[in-house]
Structure 1
Amino acid sequence: MSRIVVLTPDPADPSYAGQWPGVLERLAEALATAGLTIEPTPWTDHVEDASGLSGYPVVLPLIVWGYHRDHRRWMQACETWAAAGVPMLNPAEVIAWNSDKAYLGRLAEKGVAVPPTIWVDGVTEADVDAAFDRFGTDRIIVKPRVSGGAWKTLRLSRGGRLADAPDGPAMIQPYLPSIETEGETSLLFFGGQLSHVVNKRPVAGEFRIQVQFGGQYVSLPEPPAGALALAEQTLAAIDEDLLYARIDMARGRGGEWLLMEAELIEPDFYLSSAPDGGQHFATAVKARL
């Protein structure tokens, strides 16, 4: 069996200790169907020296959870891996730029539909007040440009105070009420082909759809009307050689699909919701060996 590397969280970071081993197990089970075995190693062990990743046919950065809290080292690691020619999939250059949500602005310039966004270097009360007026809404979302798992993401109502604002570069968007009623829909692509579709909804009173906030996930037999078109447009605009991609989208106020994220680093693939249990992913990995 071929051995491949899967990068895992910093062992000093306890935030995801109860979650990532289960994700690793699901990945291992899927890859085993293609005769592949996993060698897990923390990404933080290879920031300055990539020699520990040499000799492997593929390195997958699929569980590098927590990189957003140490973004400087993350960017250094990506540079190290790129310079050393590590067979990273997705490529090190891609997972570097994809770690900063400013890429959404670049995709918007290429015609991809994203929510209206104000980009700021640091969120102030004045920025928030201006956003309510500019968007013509009574609720907005504030989040860091570098984030993960809704980290430091705020939902603010007009007249409320800005508390616990994210430090550094951030983005402000109008809140999409459809998140509460229709949720967010994710299309999973492996080797450029659609694998499966998952709808994610928050529990009552919540706006975050992540599992840690009680999010409820349901597999869909096919993409909702119009969703696949936006996903394919997004991938065409990205125009990179991708092993995998998770395209997250939600409905705008007019019912149109809007790109929320193009997750190209460490997305949960929701393999338990995949009809084939992840064999499509395993086949895509094996095709790269």
Structure 2
Amino acid sequence: MKKYDIIILTDRRYLDFSNPAPYVQNVLKEDTYIREALEEEGLKTGRLSWDDANFDWSQTKAVLFRTTWDYFDRFDEFSAWLDKVSKQTRLLNSETIIRWNLDKRYFLDLEAKGIYCTPTRFIEKNEKTSLKELHSQTGWEETVLKPCVSGSSRDTFKLNPSIIEDHEAVFKELIQKKAMMLQPFQQNIVLKGEISIMVMGGEFSHAVLKVAKAGDFRVQDDFGGSVQLYHPTEEEIAFAENTVKVCSDELPSYARVDIFTDNDGNLALAELELIEPELWFRICPNAAKLLAAYIKKTHF
């Protein structure tokens, strides 16, 4: 008999409940909401760091990715762990979905299915090019450069013609290590913010509006951005639900669809988060109950 029904996955930095840092307390609060909701569904639940070498992963029926926020810094190790554990237990979301969603080149698949995404120039590892050449090719003046595999705006730079030359060296260094992507800078994200729409079991649950602090373009609260409950339009909800519906042959248990109004006034996808997105249960605790009920219904 398996010891657990489901393990909530975090990383080792977030195991200590005595850490008083507000950011860590938010992490713990989020995980507590989903843990209590799963237990209300009668599921025996634990919480472990994904790299816990002492736990036999075959002793849980499923694992739920929540706050594994070091995976992009330890990508090779995480990928190997993912391959191993997927053979021992059920992953939520599945290994297939996770591997597809790890790399932002998933935009290409979504565009082929009719989802309007942020225009993107993908730059492969060791590609022989420069930022000056890329800006000339695309015709974009203000841009954002970031890795195809990353999170929390790591190695992300806002560029314009006056500072491109200053960033050529760091670009050359980055492209030797990883694939990158260049996108036109979106003024409306700064002016109006970015909308995150949460979808549980294919259906809208709640949404938040993320707004960058004055003078910045990054909306994450790590960089001083603010988050508030948001009431999306029917068009925005339909966009999010359709994106989740077409992204995979299997329906993700949870998703966060980040959208915005682009420079041309079009509703566009900024990111589709299916691995370990912040879901802001602390703003809408009922969403944790919706996710727990869906997991119980479909996987147990």
TM-score by length of 1: 0.88
Once residues 27 and 129 of structure 2 are traced to their aligned partners in structure 1, the CA distance between those partners, rounded to angstroms, is 39
SS at match of 2:96: helix
Q: How far, CA to CA, are the matches of 1:214 and 1:33 in structure 2?
A: 35
Q: How does 1:127-142 map to 2 (within 5 A)?
A: 127-142=130-145
Indicate the larger mover: 64-73 or 125-134. Answer: 125-134
1:242-281 equivalence runs, <5 A: 242-274=252-284, 276=286, 278-281=288-291
In structure 2, how many angstroms separate the alpha carbons of the residues matched to 1:227 and 1:21? 30
Local SS of the residue matching 2:290: helix
**Counterpart of 2:243?**
234
Corresponding residue of 2:150 = 147
Question: Quick one: distance in 1 between partners of 2:28 and 2:284?
Answer: 19
1:54 correspondence with 2:55: no
Q: 2:14–2:24: 8 Å Cα contact kept in structure 1?
A: no
- 1:41 alignment partner, SS class: strand
> Over residues 204-239 of structure 1, what are the superposed CA-to-partner deviations in whole Å (9 max), with x where a residue is unaligned?
111111111111111123x23522232233223212
Structure 1: 5+ residue stretches without partners: none
What TM-score, normalized by structure 2, do the two folds share?
A: 0.85
**Residues of 1 paired with 2:201 and 2:14: CA distance?**
33
Number of the residue aligned with 2:38: 31
Q: Find the counterpart in structure 2 of residue 168 from structure 1.
A: 178
Aligned-partner Cα distance in 2 for 1:250–1:113: 11
> What CA deviation, in whole Å up to 9, does each residue of 1:37-71 have, x standing for no partner?
5311111236xx9x712232321011111101111
What is the CA–CA distance in structure 2 between the aligned matches of 1:125 and 1:212, rounded to whole Å? Answer: 33
**Are 2:76 and 1:67 equivalent residues in the alignment?**
no
> Identity, % of aligned pairs?
28
1:93 maps to 2:102: no
| Structure 1 residue identity aligned to 2:47 | P
For the Cα contact (< 8 Å) 1:189–1:196, is it kept in 2? yes
**Contact in 2 for aligned 1:196/1:275 (Cα 8 Å):** no
| Mapped partners of 1:164, 1:211: distance in 2 | 25
Segments of 5+ residues of structure 2 without an aligned counterpart are none
Give the stretch that moved more between structures: 55-64 or 137-146: 55-64
Which piece of structure 1 moves more, 67-76 or 129-138? 129-138
Secondary structure of the residue aligned to 1:60 is strand
Contact 1:78–1:95 under 8 Å retained in 2 = no
Structure 1 pair 243–237 and aligned structure 2 pair: CA distance change class (3 A): same
Matched with 1:106 is 109
Matches within 5 A, 1:173-212: 173-212=183-222
For 2:211 and 2:126, locate their aligned partners in 1 and report how far apart those are by CA, in whole Å: 28
The answer to whether the 8 Å contact 1:78/1:93 transfers is: no
The one-letter amino acid paired with 1:249 is I
Deviation at 1:277, TM superposition (A): 5.4
Query: Which amino acid counterpart does residue 106 of structure 1 have in structure 2?
Result: D
Per-residue CA shift, 1:3-54, capped at 9, x if unaligned? 42011114599998665333322322333443445311111236xx9x7122
SS in 1 for 2:222: helix
The code of the aligned residue for 2:215 comes to G
Instruction: Determine if contact 2:62/2:90 at 8 Å carries over to the other structure.
Output: yes
SS of aligned partner of 1:61: strand
Residues 132-181 of structure 1, C-alpha deviation per residue, up to 9 Å, x if partnerless? 33443321000011101111111111120216444411100001001111
Separation in structure 1 between the aligned mates of residue 95 and residue 57 of structure 2, nearest angstrom: 13
